[in-house]
Amino acid sequence: MSIVVDRLLNTDSPSLSAASAQSRTGVLLLVLSITLLVVGVQWLVISPREPEAVDLVGRSDFAHWDTSIPTPVLDELQWACAAFLATDRVKTVALWRGGWLAIQGVVAQELDVSVAPGPLLLDAMARETANSISNLPLFPGRIEFARLLPPNVQSLLIQPMGREGVMLLASNRQRGFSSLDKAWAVRVAEKLGATFDRICSFALNKV
């Protein structure tokens, strides 16, 4: 930076055709300094800031389990919830298959465990395709989760468990889920789905 300032204040601009090695070196250093300065500014502009965490408004440390399901399935649901909640960003885990089998973490103050899945969850199950909503407060469809999640949840990951189930992860940060988080959610959903298919030959249909 000092080289750039020195050259700008110096009225004797070096010529590229100058014979002296000192002039050629000065020109080279000037070009390199400007290049580094431009790269540094671009890096500051394009590097996103780490999203800030917010305090979710709702009932904390909530846990709902459907104890009517077989014990091996319940054990895996509890394992999955504990694993996700142990991370820094996941604040709520909810799993649905014919009813809300598990809801744990921070939930809506007026939680309704009988609420049926809305269009977003149904679409994820029908298409067996995950949906990541990185900025939920700006998303019109957030009303679908009003009776389930805190009103200021920042981002969501909707991960289907086959065509009959879905896993919902909520974060207190915008862009709360990395590519690694999403890949992990896929593997956990596959494991849970396989467990349901293997053990629960009956349909869990309560809604």
SS3 119: helix
pLDDT of residue 78: 94
**Structural domain of residue 73, as residue ranges?**
59-199
The more confident residue out of 205 and 137 is 137
Q: Is residue 36 part of a domain?
A: yes
Residue 202 binned pLDDT confidence (cut-offs 50, 70, 90): very low
Residues 183 and 103 in one domain: yes
Q: Give the model confidence (pLDDT) of 154-195 as tens digits.
A: 999 999 998 889 999 999 999 999 999 999 999 999 999 888
Q: Is residue 151 part of a domain?
A: yes
Residues 78 and 138 in one domain: yes
The more confident residue out of 125 and 7 is 125
Q: Is residue 51 part of a domain?
A: no
Q: What mean pLDDT is reported for the chain?
A: 83
Residues 97 and 66 in one domain: yes
Residue 204 CA to residue 101 CA, distance in Å, equals: 9
- Cβ-contact 115, 124 below 8 angstroms: no
Residue 33 binned pLDDT confidence (cut-offs 50, 70, 90): low
Domain count, the chain: 2
- H/E stretch holding 35: helix 21-46
Q: Is residue 206 part of a domain?
A: no
Burial of 18-55, coded b for 16+ CB within 10 Å and e otherwise, reads: eeeeebeebbeebeebeeeeeeeeeeeeeeeeebeebe
Q: Is residue 205 part of a domain?
A: no
Q: Give the model confidence (pLDDT) of 65-121 as tens digits.
A: 998 888 888 999 999 999 999 998 999 999 999 999 999 999 999 999 999 999 999
pLDDT of residue 198: 80
pLDDT of residue 24: 61
Range 31-36 contact pairs with CB under 8 angstroms and sequence separation of 24 or more: 33/1, 33/3, 33/4, 34/4
**CA distances from residue 134 to 40, 167, 177 in whole angstroms, order as listed:** 28, 16, 8
The more confident residue out of 192 and 47 is 192
Question: Is residue 39 predicted with pLDDT exceeding 80?
Answer: no
Residues 110 and 11 in one domain: no
Give percent above pLDDT 70 in the chain.
72
Q: With the CA atoms of 137, 64, 101 and 200 taken in that order, what torsion angle do they form, in degrees rounded to the nearest 10?
A: 160
Could you say which DSSP state residue 145 is in? G
